[in-house]
Amino acid sequence: MKKHVLTLALVLLCPFLSSGWGFLAHRTINQIAVYTLPKSMQGFYYRHLAEIVRFSTAPDERREDDPKEAPKHYIDMDHYGDDPFGSMPKLWEKASAKYSADTLRKYGTVPWVVLETKLALTEAFKQRDSVAIIRLSAELGHYVADAYVPLHTTVNYDGQLTNQQGMHSLWESKLPERHLAEWKLDSEKAEYVKDPLRAVWTAVQESYGFLGDTFDKEEKVTRAFTNETKYTFSHKFGKTRRSYSDAFADAYYKEVGGQVAYRLKQAPTLVASLWLTAWQDAGRPDLDQLMGKKPGKEEKEKLALELKAWDKNELMTQDLLLATHKEAVVERPDQINSAKDMAPPPVETPTPAPAAPVPATAPAAEPEKVKVKTKSDEGSSKRKEKKKKDDKKENDGWN
Ligand SMILES: [Zn+2]
C-alpha cells in the first residue's frame, strides 16, 4: 500500500492541454455540418470537404506557437460567481467594461471568438475569397464545437481541482473514440441564425448545465473501482502518466455517454447554421461560380451516397468518415497554408444507386434538469443544483 501511495505521489501528470474535442470529434462535426447545409451551399462545401475536415483542428495545432490562442477555446463561467450567466454581459464591450479585457482573456473568450470568426467569414463571402471561406468555415466549426463541451466552461476543466484529473480527455477524446460508431449522428439541418452571439451563449450555458453530471457521475463510478482498476499508468521519457482505464471509461460511458453523444451531434447544426448565416449576410454570393467547375455527375453521386450513409448512420461502417482516414489524422492543418489546390475528398466507395438525402431527425431530448458545479463547490461533497432552463429571459446579461 505504501508503495502504491508513493507511486501515486511520484506520478507526474503531464501538463494538460485543454484541446476541446479530440481530433476525431472536431473532424466529424465539420463533416456532418456539411451534410446539414442547404443545397445552395452544399455543393461548394462538399467540393472542399477534405479541407473543411482537416482545418477543423488548425486552431488546436497553433496553440503550441501562439499563447493568445488557448483562451479562445473556452470560457470559465464559474469564475464569475454563482450566477455567472446573469452576471456576465453577453456583448464584448459591456463584458470587458465590467470585468476588463484582461480578465476575459484569462478566463476564456470562446463566445466572442465565434462571433468574430463568423464576421470574418461573412467578409470572406463578400470578397468571394474561397481560400478564406474554407479556412474560416473550418475554424468557425472548431470554436463552435468547443462551446459544446461542458468542461470548456469551468475553471476545473480537467477535474484537477477535485482529484478527477484526466476527465477532459476522457470525456472529449476517449469516449468518442470508443463509441462514435454507435452514435446516431442525426444533426438537424442548418438554419439562418438571427443572433449568432446569443446562439453561442445558449450553447455555452447548456454546456455549463451538464457540468454537475460530468463530475458527479465520475464520483459515482469511482466507487466501484480501486485505484488499480480506475487508472492505467504509462511511462515515457522518464515521466509517468496516469489516465483513466478502459474499464473505467466504459463504466463512465454508461452514465454520461448519452450526454457526450448529444453534445456532439448538436454542434454540427450550429456550425452549419453560422456558415449559412455568414453567406446570407454577405448577400448570398453564387457559390457555383466560386467552384470554377460545377459538380459533375460523379461528385453529385458521391455526395448523395454519403448523405444516404449519414442518414442510415453508416458513415463509419462504410468508411466514409474522413476523421478516421489515416491521411486526415496525421496531417498538420496549420502547415497547409492554402486551400487553392484542394482536391475533392479522398473517398473511395463502391457505388450503389444514389438516393435523395433525408433530412435529419430531431436529436434526443434535452435533459430537463441540470446540475452546475462551480469552483465554489470544490472540496464539498454536496453539489449545487440549479435549474438552468427558462432562466435566460430576465437578468441574462443582455441588458
Ligand atoms: Zn479547441
Q: What is the CATH number of the domain that holds 115?
A: 1.10.575.10
**Residue 312 maps to a domain:** yes
Distance 73 CA to ligand 1 centre (A): 5
Residue recorded with cell 489516465: 243
User: From ligand 1's centre to the CA of 288, what distance in Å?
Assistant: 31
Query: Can you tell me the mean pLDDT for 31-47?
Result: 97
pLDDT score, position 215: 93
CA–centroid distance, 59 to ligand 1, in Å, is 6
Ligand 1 centroid distance, CA of 70 (Å): 8
Give distance in angstroms: CA of 62 to centre of ligand 1. Answer: 10
Q: Please list, in sequence order, all residues whose beta carbon lies within 8 angstroms of the beta carbon of residue 257, skipping any fewer than 6 positions away.
A: 175, 179
Residue 346 lies in a domain: yes
Per cent of the chain over pLDDT 90 is 66
> DSSP string covering 329-381, please?
HHS-GGG----TTPPPP------PPP----PPPPPPPPPS--B---GGGTT-S
What separation in Å is there between the alpha carbon of 86 and the centre of ligand 1?
A: 25
How much distance in Å is there from the Cα of 18 to the middle of ligand 1?
7
* Rounded Cα gap, residues 125 and 391, in angstroms: 36
- CA–centroid distance, 286 to ligand 1, in Å, is 31
For residue 385, pLDDT beyond 90 = no
Give distance in angstroms: CA of 360 to centre of ligand 1: 26
pLDDT at 291: 92
Q: How far is the CA of 295 from the centre of ligand 1 (A)?
A: 32
In the reported structure, the alpha carbon of residue 88 is separated from the centroid of ligand 1 by a whole-number distance in angstroms of 22
Contact 328, 27 (CB under 8 A): yes
383 Cα: distance to centroid of ligand 1 (angstroms) = 28
Distance from the CA of 202 to the center of ligand 1, in angstroms? 18
Residue 321 counted as domain residue = yes
CB 124 within 8 A of CB 178: no
Cα 189 to ligand 1 centre (Å): 23
Q: What is the pLDDT of residue 298?
A: 95
Please, which residues have CB within 8 angstroms of residue 14's CB and are 6 or more apart in sequence? 239, 241
Residue 327 pLDDT: 57
Find the 200 Cα to ligand 1 centroid distance in Å: 15
Residue 289 CB neighbour total at 10 angstroms = 11
284-333 residue pLDDT tens: 999 999 998 888 999 999 999 999 999 999 999 999 999 988 754 444 43
Compute, in angstroms, the gap from residue 326 CA to the centroid of ligand 1. 21
Domain count, the chain: 1
Write out pLDDT tens, residues 58-88. Answer: 999 999 899 999 999 999 999 999 999 999 9
- CA 280 – ligand 1 centroid, Å: 26
Mean pLDDT, the chain, as a whole number? 81
In a domain, 397, yes or no: no
143 CA from centroid of ligand 1 (Å): 6
Domain that holds residue 330: 20-377
Q: What is the CA(102)–ligand 1 centre distance, in A?
A: 20
Residue 4: is its pLDDT beyond 80? no
Instruction: Assign 337 a pLDDT band (cuts: 50, 70, 90).
Output: very low
Q: Residue 240 — pLDDT band, cuts 50, 70, 90?
A: confident
Residues 225, 384, 148, 261, CA torsion sign = positive
Q: Is the pLDDT of residue 26 over 70?
A: yes
What confidence tier does 389 reach under pLDDT thresholds 50, 70, 90?
very low
Nearest in space to 136 (alpha carbons), one of 274, 282, 321, 290: 274
Q: Residue 17 to residues 71, 174, 214, 375: CA-CA distances in angstroms?
A: 11, 15, 19, 19
Residue 47 has pLDDT above 90, yes or no: yes
Which three-class secondary structure state does DSSP give residue 241?
A: strand
* 373 pLDDT more than 80: no
Ligand 1 centroid distance, CA of 302 (Å): 30
CA of 22 to the centre of ligand 1 (A): 8
Q: From ligand 1's centre to the CA of 126, what distance in Å?
A: 27
2 located within any domain:
no
336 part of a folded domain:
yes
Q: How far is the CA of 306 from the centre of ligand 1 (A)?
A: 27
- For ligand 1, the distance from its centroid to the CA atom of residue 74, given in whole angstroms, is 8
Question: Per the domain annotation, does 329 fall within a domain?
Answer: yes
**Alpha helices by DSSP H, 128-245:** 130-147, 167-169, 175-179, 196-209, 211-222, 227-230
Separation of CA 141 and ligand 1 centre (Å): 10
Q: How far is the CA of 58 from the centre of ligand 1 (A)?
A: 9
Q: Is the pLDDT of residue 21 over 90?
A: no
pLDDT at 237: 84
Answer whether residue 7 is part of any domain: no
CA of 375 to the centre of ligand 1 (A): 22
Give the C-alpha separation, 35 to 61, whole Å: 25
pLDDT at 7 over 70: no
Q: Tell me the per-residue pLDDT of 89-144, one tens digit each, with 9 for 90 and over.
A: 999 999 999 999 999 999 999 999 999 999 999 999 999 999 999 999 999 999 99
Using 50, 70 and 90 to split pLDDT, how confident is the model at 20? low
